[in-house]
């Protein structure tokens, strides 16, 4: 089994790339996130997950171990093959996946191609207990803690008053405040949170 490829990026296409390793071109399927970071014509290393089927050997490439580990976990869910798993990882980073699972945010998952409402519910149900040990850069907990006070709490209150459900609103505020950095203004947080909820 191939676990890693280091070579020249010969071509980057929609959903895949060709990695030239000593004159042999490997066709590697990858998420848009991984493909966007590849240097066209330059040298890169990709972690590889090899899947052997009756009709093909398919290589899936990842820029980092966190994305590869999430791919492995996603493909354990019934109805999630390699293509759908890459679609989910293209739509959501590992960190965003944890936020969606914490919040029970079905809407975020259905943004991924191939994920309908039923599959989103199955993902949320099956991954809630398994996501705890996943490498994402943030600690996993079954629920997102309610902001203790300040701008984040005020933004959450505003979203709840607008009729949004608490889990989705909390996840949106968490992503917005994380993106805006230290000491954002309340109107900025609300605006960014609404953008998150509109996606």
Query: Cβ distance 47 to 13 under 8 Å?
Result: no
What's the CATH architecture for 65-133? Orthogonal Bundle (1.10)
The CATH topology of domain 4-62 is: OB fold (Dihydrolipoamide Acetyltransferase, E2P) (2.40.50)
Average pLDDT for 153-159 = 83
Average pLDDT for 127-146 = 53
Question: Given pLDDT bands bounded at 50, 70 and 90, which one contains residue 131?
Answer: low
Return the SS3 of 180.
helix
Question: Given pLDDT bands bounded at 50, 70 and 90, which one contains residue 105?
Answer: confident
Average pLDDT for 33-50 = 90
Say what the pLDDT of residue 157 is: 82
The mean of the pLDDT values for the chain is 84
Return the SS3 of 188.
helix
| Tokens found for residue 72 | 């492995």
CB neighbour list of residue 68: distance below 8 Å, 6 or more residues apart: 47, 49, 62
Least confident of 43-47, 74-78, 89-93, 179-183: 179-183
Q: How far apart are CA 23 and CA 27, in angstroms?
A: 13
Of all residues in the chain, the percent with pLDDT exceeding 70 is 89
Over 50: is that where the pLDDT of 106 sits?
Answer: yes
Question: Given pLDDT bands bounded at 50, 70 and 90, which one contains residue 133?
Answer: low
DSSP state of 8: E
Find residue 29's DSSP bridge partners.
Answer: 16, 60
Tell me which range, 6-15, 105-114, 189-198, is most confidently predicted by mean pLDDT. Answer: 6-15
Over 80: is that where the pLDDT of 138 sits?
Answer: no
Average pLDDT for 4-9 = 94
Q: How far apart are CA 6 and CA 22, in angstroms?
A: 10
Query: Cβ distance 27 to 18 under 8 Å?
Result: yes
């Amino acid at each position: 089994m191939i676990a890693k490829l280091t070579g020249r990026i010969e071509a980057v296409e929609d959903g895949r790339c060709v990695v030239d390793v000593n004159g042999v071109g490997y066709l590697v399927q990858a998420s848009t996130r991984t493909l966007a970071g590849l240097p066209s014509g330059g040298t890169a290393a990709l972690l590889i997950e090899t899947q052997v089927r009756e009709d093909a050997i398919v290589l899936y490439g990842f820029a980092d171990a966190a994305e590869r580990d999430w791919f492995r976990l996603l493909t354990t869910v019934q109805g999630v093959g390699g293509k759908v798993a890459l679609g989910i990882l293209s739509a959501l980073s590992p960190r965003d996946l944890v936020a969606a699972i914490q919040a029970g945010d079905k809407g975020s998952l259905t943004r991924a191609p191939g994920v309908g409402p039923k599959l989103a519910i199955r993902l949320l149900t099956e991954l809630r207990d398994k996501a705890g040990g996943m490498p994402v850069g943030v600690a996993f907990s079954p629920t997102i803690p309610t902001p203790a006070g300040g701008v984040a709490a005020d933004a959450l209150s505003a979203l709840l008053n607008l009729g949004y459900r608490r889990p989705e609103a909390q996840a949106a505020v968490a992503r917005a405040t994380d993106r805006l950095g230290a000491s954002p203004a309340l109107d900025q947080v609300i605006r960014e949170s609404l953008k998150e909820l509109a996606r």
